[in-house]
């Protein structure tokens, strides 16, 4: 337990946390601004309204007019949060409005996972609005407190919790496959049928998916690879060097799903990259004069 505590409350650079804030809320703003699905499910007939989570408090889907207003406000709030403006207001507002819109998509009978990891990784920022806005923010610029090189556990704990959330998300997804399907998920024809079904549902047959589906060792190997990445990803928390393998592997997994099944998990893939990139290191690489001096303890690698 103490090793978990040491991991979570390790000191990190304020700029790394700021980078996480900018990238995650920026990604949220883009997702909210470009997703036309909210308008599509607005005005849903009451008989088809199938709420999950907090939407059980509503009796029917929101109107299209209300949805448009909420979507616009959510984008503005997310941009303010990314900029570090009024973080105690903008962070929870952006999250709450994005949650509302996300729950709309989940009220049509299917759990939508595309933005789950992004939303979960925003939670650590919600709990630390001040720390997350210490560097690279309108708030710090306005207050004249732009201290770019602060190392403290206050900046580390939101980053580390986001890492744990990503690691747990992949681990749980992998364990659920073993729980409901066992090793048959890998050794049987499961992935073959998944790829055939996905190809059949696309406008034109997916030749890459069909190629894998038609070669028995190949689809078993890809299934094994997917499961190994999901179950093994959490190892990159204690073993930092594994991030060089597992972060690209997770991105590759989502790229493969997109190429063969036409399922867009770009938001999740970007979230993984954003959480594990050391934004302070990137800043120092781009502007060497911004390096900490004298050097202080802490991780000084790109991821």
Residues 127-186 that bind other proteins (CB under 8 A): 127-128, 130-131, 134, 143, 145, 147, 150, 152-155, 157, 161, 164-165, 168-169, 172-173, 175-177, 179-181, 184-185
CB 282 within 8 A of CB 18: no
Distance CA 96, CA 201 (A): 34
Distance CA 219, CA 188 (A): 9
Nearer to other proteins, 56 or 241 (CB): 56
Q: For the window 96-125, what string marks contact with other proteins as x by the rule CB under 8 A?
A: ---x--xx--x-xxxx-x-xx--xx--xx-
For residue 135, the minimal CB distance to other proteins (Å) is 11
CB 247 within 8 A of CB 240: no
Q: Contact with other proteins (CB under 8 A): which of 63, 197, 215, 301?
A: 197
Residue among 138, 134, 130 nearest 148 (CA)? 134
Nearer to other proteins, 201 or 241 (CB): 201
Instruction: Report angle CA 32, 86, 33 to the nearest 5 degrees.
Output: 10
**For residues 4-63, which are near other proteins according to CB under 8 A?**
5, 8-9, 14, 37, 40-45, 47-50, 52-54, 61
- In this structure, the chain runs to a length of 303
Q: Contact with other proteins (CB under 8 A): which of 205, 208, 240, 264?
A: 205
For residue 279, the minimal CB distance to other proteins (Å) is 17
CB-based contacts of 245: which residues, under 8 Å, 6+ apart?
236
Residue among 16, 22, 30, 4 nearest 276 (CA)? 16
For residue 40, the minimal CB distance to other proteins (Å) is 5
Using CB under 8 A, count the residues that bind other proteins.
76
Q: Contact with other proteins (CB under 8 A): which of 200, 216, 238, 285?
A: 200
221 touching other proteins, by CB under 8 A: no
Nearer to other proteins, 84 or 124 (CB): 124
**For residues 63-102, which are near other proteins according to CB under 8 A?**
99, 102
For residue 218, the minimal CB distance to other proteins (Å) is 16
**Cα–Cα separations (whole angstroms), residue 170 to 103, 228, 233:** 22, 10, 7
216 touching other proteins, by CB under 8 A: no
**Cα–Cα separations (whole angstroms), residue 151 to 127, 142, 225, 296:** 18, 21, 37, 8
241 touching other proteins, by CB under 8 A: no
For residue 231, the minimal CB distance to other proteins (Å) is 12
Q: Contact with other proteins (CB under 8 A): which of 199, 220, 260, 267?
A: 199
For residue 225, the minimal CB distance to other proteins (Å) is 14
For residue 36, the minimal CB distance to other proteins (Å) is 9
């Amino acid at each position: 337990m103490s090793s978990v505590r040491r991991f979570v409350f390790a000191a990190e650079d304020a700029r790394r946390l700021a980078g996480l804030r900018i990238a995650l809320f920026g990604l949220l703003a883009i997702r909210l601004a470009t997703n036309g699905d909210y308008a599509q499910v607005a005005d849903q007939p009451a008989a088809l309204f199938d709420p999950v989570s907090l939407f059980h408090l509503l009796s029917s889907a929101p109107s299209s007019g209300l949805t448009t207003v909420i979507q616009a406000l959510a984008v503005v709030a997310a941009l303010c949060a990314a900029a570090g403006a009024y973080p105690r207001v903008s962070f929870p507002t952006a999250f709450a409005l994005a949650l509302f819109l996300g729950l709309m998509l989940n009220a049509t009978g299917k759990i939508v996972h595309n933005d789950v990891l992004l939303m979960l990784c925003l939670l650590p920022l919600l709990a630390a609005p001040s720390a997350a806005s210490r560097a690279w923010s309108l708030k710090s610029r306005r207050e004249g407190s732009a201290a770019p090189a602060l190392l403290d556990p206050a900046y580390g704990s939101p980053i580390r919790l986001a890492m744990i959330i990503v690691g747990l998300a992949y681990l749980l997804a992998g364990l659920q496959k073993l729980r409901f399907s066992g090793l048959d998920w890998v050794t049987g024809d499961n992935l073959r049928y998944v790829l055939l079904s996905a190809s059949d549902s696309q406008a034109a047959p997916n030749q890459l998916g069909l190629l894998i589906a038609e070669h028995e060792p190949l689809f078993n190997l890809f299934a094994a690879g997917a499961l190994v990445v999901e179950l093994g990803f959490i190892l990159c928390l204690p073993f930092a060097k594994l991030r060089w393998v597992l972060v690209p592997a997770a991105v590759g997994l989502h790229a493969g799903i997109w190429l063969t099944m036409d399922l867009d998990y770009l938001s999740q893939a970007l979230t993984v990259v954003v959480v594990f990139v050391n934004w302070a290191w990137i800043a120092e690489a781009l502007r060497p004069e911004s390096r900490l001096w004298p050097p202080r303890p802490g991780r000084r690698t790109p991821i």
